[in-house]
Amino acid sequence: MNPWFFSFLVSIALLLLLADLRQIPKNLYGGILSAVFMQAETVLASGLELFEYNSVPLYMPDMFLFSNKLNIFLTGIAFSIGILIVQNQPRKMGCQLADAAVWALFLAAFNYLALAFNLINFIRFKPYFVIRQFLLFLFFGWIKNNFGKQEDMQFLSKPEKGGA
């Protein structure tokens, strides 16, 4: 089995197991932003010859969605993980920083595994250079803090009727 297809299936299984399915519409922006970010990164990396993916085509015709520049399986992985990151993002800024650091370490470990299994060729790039994703994870926290529901804020609650 193709390793990218296998990792896509694992990410979908993790999404179904770990995601709160009732909250997916609320956390969908994390998946969409992650998928768009992954595709932009892949296209830029290919154009700048920073890294390239191996074992992508699945022995299919060189179709746009299955090419090395745009890979539907990498997009699916990013989409699933983006939803999970947003769903589990804490509200406090210090906790968001720690959460983003943990996800960035996870991504660095994934890059090293992909390098070990010869799935990625880092041409002019290092596998531990995940600062761009770290900033994306912090951006998710900023979105959640500024545009998410904030029931705990008193000035948004209705004033009580009656008075003293």
CB contact at 8 A, 83 and 27? yes
In one-letter notation, the amino acid at residue 85 is: I
**Helices marked H in the chain:** 3-18, 24-48, 72-87, 93-116, 131-147
Residue 98 to residues 15, 78, 134, Cα–Cα distance (Å): 22, 20, 10
Listed residue (157, 24, 147) closest to 84, CA to CA: 24
What is the sign of the dihedral through the CA atoms of 147, 150, 153 and 158?
A: positive
pLDDT class of 61 with cuts at 50, 70, 90: low
Residue with the bigger pLDDT between 150 and 118: it is 118
Q: Read off the pLDDT of residues 39-60 as tens digits, 9 standing for 90 and up.
A: 888 778 878 888 887 777 666 5
Of 4 and 86, more confident: 86
Cα dihedral 30, 35, 41, 45 in deg (nearest 10): 150
Kindly report the pTM of this predicted structure. Answer: 0.76
Q: 54-81: b or e for each residue (b if 16 or more CB lie within 10 Å)?
A: eebbeeeeeeeebbeebbbbbbbbbbbb
Can you give the pLDDT at residue 32? Answer: 92
